[in-house]
Amino acid sequence: MLKVNYVGYIFTVYFANVGFELNTMYTRYVHKNDFNYLVSKVGSTNEEDINKLDISLPKDEKIDGNDVATWVFLYNKLYGNE
């Protein structure tokens, strides 16, 4: 359990420092539409989409299931107790 918390901490600190935003649609709140937006962009070849939504580590220059899993992990880490 400690290892998972440590990994979560590293992810949270990293994304806070690079300015990653769970609010992918840049609205006022993080909600299911942000998740849906990310999922809708899976497989996109648009460079702007990739720069914004390729959030898994290491960066692989594509939007895929790893990015979706990272979003869910961080969402649960940040908002899971609400």
To the question of pTM greater than 0.85 for the whole model, the response is no
pLDDT at 44: 96
Q: State the Cα–Cα distance between residues 64 and 80, nearest whole angstrom.
A: 23
Instruction: Name the nearest CA neighbour of 41 among 55, 28, 30, 21.
Output: 55
pLDDT at 3 over 50: no
Q: Model confidence over 27-67: pLDDT tens digits?
A: 766 778 888 999 999 999 999 999 889 988 888 999 999 99
The total of other beta-carbon atoms located within 10 Å of residue 11's CB is 18
